[in-house]
Amino acid sequence: MGRAEETLHYFRISKMYNPFLLKGMDCTLKRIVKAINNREKIVLYGYYDVDSIISMSIIMLVLKYLNADVEYFIPDDFNQNFEISERYINNSIKYLGANLLLAVGCGTNSEDGICLCRKLGIDVVVVDYHRQYKKLANMLLINPNQEGCRYPFKDLAGCGIVFKLCQAISTYYEMKCVNKYLDLVAVGVISKTQRPYNENKVLIEEGLKRLITTNNYGINALIKLKDIKKIDYEAIKIISASVEPTLNAVGRMDNAKIAVELFTTSDSYRALQIAKYLNNEVNGKQNVFNVY
């Protein structure tokens, strides 16, 4: 069975493109598989918008499922160029013992940050959607908007690209459960586009099917807290908005960090406490929950 047929064998969804059409997917998959199998330290690096939070949550869940040594890092400030900051590489990432830095929704043009990683012996994988204006060596890049990528849909949301990577990983490990993460993907896509079309629309529609029976404790906590009775487009918007105002209006990175925990925790009580905390932040109420 060829690679294309293999991929479709594990997650056939109508109107979705094969993840191996993304330039660099084969090499990226090999490097991530090596990190997983050898228990190398993988550090996820992303920003505090909902799309990035969802992206980190999805790849975190998949890597944890495969028993990878993984944690995530969100910078304390925002880089307008969505680059990997040298300051945080020097002050944080290297002390985490990273062997592989997986940048989510950023990093396509991060020449200085990537060069520093290489000097420190840290390999870099970038999964991004921003336009490429620098052709950089010493990194693996998954980006439909990079030069020479023939992937048919260029407007795929960041979490959609991460899901494509997860599809590729699931092909290697014969994971039959990867589609269950489409519930999270739908939340991330909604945060990026008001009028989804093409593959973004498919991701939302497929995500809706999974949301009805989701076992994600974070999503279920938000559904309970917001008293959502019907799972539809509006429900996804409510779930997304339950996180977004706290992060973008107030700009508190700590909230972004615990939002990733909200969607990745395996403790239903913990998920509800985090959801209540974020809800209080959105509504401007004094926090009465100790979530740290």
**How does pLDDT run along the chain (292 residues), one tens digit per residue?**
455 455 554 456 778 899 999 999 999 999 999 999 999 999 999 988 889 999 999 999 999 999 999 999 998 876 677 889 999 999 999 999 999 999 999 999 999 999 999 999 999 999 999 999 888 888 899 999 999 999 999 999 999 999 999 999 999 999 988 999 999 999 999 998 878 999 999 999 999 999 999 999 999 999 999 999 999 999 999 999 888 755 544 445 667 888 999 999 999 999 999 999 888 776 665 444 455 5
The domain that holds 91 is classified in CATH as 3.90.1640.30
Measure the CA–CA gap between 172 and 162, rounded to whole angstroms: 16
- Whether residue 60 lies inside any domain: the answer is yes
Tokens 């060829």 belong to: 2
Strand order of the β-sheet with 140-142 is: 69-73, 41-46, 100-104, 123-127, 140-142
- Whether residue 286 lies inside any domain: the answer is no
Q: Is 135 exposed, middle or buried (0-12, 13-18, 19+ CB in 10 A)?
A: exposed
Does the pTM of the predicted model rise above 0.75? yes
Parent domain of 245: 3-281
- Number of domains the chain contains: 1
- Whether residue 27 lies inside any domain: the answer is yes
Dihedral sign from CA coordinates of 211, 216, 217, 218: negative
Of all helices (H) and strands (E), which one includes residue 257?
A: helix 253-264
- Whether residue 168 lies inside any domain: the answer is yes
Provide the pairing of β-strand 69-73 with 140-142.
unpaired
